[in-house]
Amino acid sequence: MIDDPLESTNGRSGFRWKESLINLRKRGFFRYVGRSVLLILLLYLVVILIVFLIGKYLVDYNTFFGGIIERLSDRFVIFLFFLSESITGMIPVDLFVIWTQKFDRPMFWLALLGVLSYAGGVISYGIGMWIASMPRIKAFTERRLESYIIFIRKWGGAFIVIAALFPFTPFSLVVIAVTLFKYPFRLFLLYALARLVRFVLQGVFFFDLLKLDHWIV
């Protein structure tokens, strides 16, 4: 089992959230999150600048992306997204966020993506439990997911929350890494709710704050 600073808060020990947050700070959690958020923001700014310049001088995004998006079946996109979120999470969710802008009610579709991603996490949990029951496959998977496992051992459920909220790592792979330690399912369901928030926040950031829909799709 993982020495989880968040779990200890809810357990019989009765520790307060303040003590849990202090524990996370000592383990370097907030330092890691701060550096990662800054890196992500800088990366987004660079990508947005490049996309903007390409759209201004080289490519008509309305023609290019519009044609692709309209040709893709909505059911196919939903299935592809659910498959990715359940197994590997290797397809960037940003592409699916952009896809939702074809609809009159994009926030509804963003919420749907959030629910499907959460459900995909539940499937990933089941995959992780299956892997954990097979020693050879578990050993191989632990080697492949070693970088995630290090953070899980340090931060427990807190790493589930940041993996659900931010594009640090593929969420499904983090879930599989967590379940290799037989992490409690009820706690996973609780912390993974942050996944629902992620899609709405990303939609607001992309299309309300940056107005990306005016020059991408």
* Distance (Å, whole) CA 11 – CA 9: 6
Query: For position 98, what pLDDT does the model report?
Result: 78
- Of 13, 7, 29, 27, the C-alpha closest to 157 is 7
* Distance (Å, whole) CA 135 – CA 8: 28
> Per-residue pLDDT for 5 more than 70?
no
CA angle 207, 36, 51 (to 5 degrees): 40
Task: Kindly state the average pLDDT of the residues 49-59.
Answer: 69
Q: Which residues of 67-78 are buried (b: 16+ CB within 10 A; e: fewer)?
A: eebeeeeeeebb
Q: Are 198 and 160 in contact (CB under 8 A)?
A: no
Average pLDDT, the chain: 79
> Per-residue pLDDT for 46 more than 90?
no
Query: How many CB atoms within 10 Å of residue 151?
Result: 21
User: What's the sign of the alpha-carbon dihedral 59, 204, 38, 80?
Assistant: negative
At 35, give phi and psi (nearest 5°). Answer: -65, -40
User: What's the gap between Cα 40 and its chain centre?
Assistant: 13
Higher-scoring residue by pLDDT: 47, 100:
100
- Of 121, 138, 129, the C-alpha closest to 172 is 121
Q: Are 177 and 145 in contact (CB under 8 A)?
A: yes
Letter for the amino acid at 159? F
Q: Are 179 and 125 in contact (CB under 8 A)?
A: yes
> Which of 14-18, 66-70, 144-148 reaches the highest mean pLDDT?
144-148
Query: For position 217, what pLDDT does the model report?
Result: 46
Nearest 10 degrees: CA dihedral of 85, 88, 90, 94? 10
* Distance (Å, whole) CA 131 – CA 208: 41
Q: Are 152 and 2 in contact (CB under 8 A)?
A: yes
Looking at residue 26, the DSSP 8-state letter turns out to be H
Residue indicated by tokens 């991603």? 117
pTM: 0.75
Query: For position 216, what pLDDT does the model report?
Result: 47
> Per-residue pLDDT for 23 more than 70?
yes
